[in-house]
């Protein structure tokens, strides 16, 4: 994870170096003279050996005529040291605290875009399904099991499906309907839950069929909160994406998955087929 932070800092430095050269400052010494900095500071920032401050970025953009890039660079800067939050670090006291942290984000988000290729999205999980998932995580990361408290917080998130004017655009891969977490009884109840949600006015639930022509590889799941933040979960860590250019890429990926999805009665039929599977038919 520290390697990721270092690589991002180096990428930021390289971008700033390009701004300097494009602005006609052929050397770090010339740029230092223009900003009143020491030449060594310019060199350390450009080579990723020193963190730039927000004031440094502001001065750099103003001096090189790149004021329009300031917001993008600040978003990059703010997450250099916490691009990745390791699950073992997040869950060291159990899963409940991580679930609690998500509630303010849900409160202030108006439009959700969710892609989950292999698992049912947390906010539409049943308590039994969520319980199994939290137990699996505690076993994988060897962290304290506070499953009941974590499930309670996850269920608390579900109230946002019914409150306010939030819009939930949710895409599940068909495989998510069959990935067996907890056995047939748990899966049937979870799939019944999805059936009930199909009529929820604030939620648009699409299923990407396993045989659908795809515009992009299935990849990993992600959750987009308005157009300000994307959360990506891997086996080892959770990544926060806030850079506008990267968020745009996730937006495009979501749209490509959406184009492959089915809705309404066709989605209902896919869920019914999965229910039949877990009924042994």
CA 186 to chain centre: 26
Helix axes 54-64, 28-35, angle to 10 degrees: 100
φ/ψ bin of 207: left (φ > 0), alpha (ψ from -120 to 50), beta (otherwise): beta
Q: Which residues have a Cβ under 8 Å from the Cβ of 196 and sit 6 or more positions away?
A: none
Please say if the pLDDT value at position 90 is more than 60: no
Domain of residue 71, CATH code: 1.10.260.40
| Residue that terminates a domain, selected from 56, 78, 100 | 78
Q: Which of 249, 229, 243, 267 is nearest to 102 (CA)?
A: 229
Between strands 84-86 and 237-241, the pairing is antiparallel
Domain holding 162, by residue range, is 84-278
My answer on whether 9 and 131 are in the same domain is no
Domain of residue 176, CATH code: 3.30.870
Per-residue pLDDT tens digits for 137-196: 888 878 777 889 889 988 999 999 998 899 999 999 999 999 999 999 999 999 999 999
My answer on whether 91 and 214 are in the same domain is yes
Residue 250: its pLDDT value, please?
Answer: 93
Q: Domain count of the chain?
A: 2
Please say if the pLDDT value at position 222 is more than 80: yes
Helix, strand, coil percent values for the chain (each to nearest 5): 55, 15, 30
Radius of gyration of the chain (CA): 23
| Residue that terminates a domain, selected from 78, 98, 114 | 78
| Residue that terminates a domain, selected from 25, 54, 78 | 78
Q: How far apart are CA 108 and CA 5, in angstroms?
A: 28
Please say if the pLDDT value at position 213 is more than 60: yes
Please say if the pLDDT value at position 223 is more than 70: yes
Residue 2: its pLDDT value, please?
Answer: 42
Q: How far apart are CA 45 and CA 27, in angstroms?
A: 14
- Strand, helix or coil for residue 123: helix
End-to-end CA distance of the chain: 46
Q: Which residues have a Cβ under 8 Å from the Cβ of 244 and sit 6 or more positions away?
A: 71, 72, 75
Per-residue pLDDT tens digits for 118-132: 999 999 999 999 999
My answer on whether 94 and 195 are in the same domain is yes
């Amino acid at each position: 994870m520290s390697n990721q932070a270092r690589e991002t800092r180096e990428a930021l430095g390289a971008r700033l170096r390009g701004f300097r050269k494009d602005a006609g400052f052929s050397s770090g010494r010339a740029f230092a003279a223009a900003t009143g900095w020491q030449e060594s500071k310019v060199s350390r920032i450009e080579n990723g050996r020193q963190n730039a401050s927000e004031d440094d970025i502001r001065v750099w953009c103003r001096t090189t005529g790149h004021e329009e890039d300031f917001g993008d660079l600040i978003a990059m800067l703010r997450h250099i040291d916490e691009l990745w939050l390791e699950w073992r670090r997040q869950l060291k006291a159990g899963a409940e605290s991580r679930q609690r942290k998500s509630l303010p984000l849900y409160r202030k988000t108006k439009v959700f875009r969710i892609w989950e290729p292999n698992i049912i999205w947390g906010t539409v999980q049943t308590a039994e399904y969520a319980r199994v998932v939290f137990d699996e995580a505690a076993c994988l990361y060897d962290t304290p099991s506070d499953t009941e408290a974590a499930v309670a917080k996850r269920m608390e998130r579900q109230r946002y499906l019914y409150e306010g004017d939030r819009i939930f655009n949710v895409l599940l891969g068909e495989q998510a309907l069959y990935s067996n977490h907890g056995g047939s009884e748990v899966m049937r109840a979870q799939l019944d839950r999805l059936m009930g949600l199909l009529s929820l006015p604030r939620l648009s639930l699409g299923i990407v069929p396993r045989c659908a022509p795809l515009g992009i590889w299935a990849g990993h799941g992600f959750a987009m909160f308005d157009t300000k933040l994307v959360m990506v979960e891997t086996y080892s860590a959770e990544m926060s994406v806030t850079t506008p250019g990267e968020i745009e890429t996730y937006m495009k990926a979501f749209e490509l998955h959406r184009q492959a999805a089915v809705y309404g009665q066709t989605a209902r039929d896919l869920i019914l087929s999965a229910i039949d599977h877990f009924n042994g038919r």
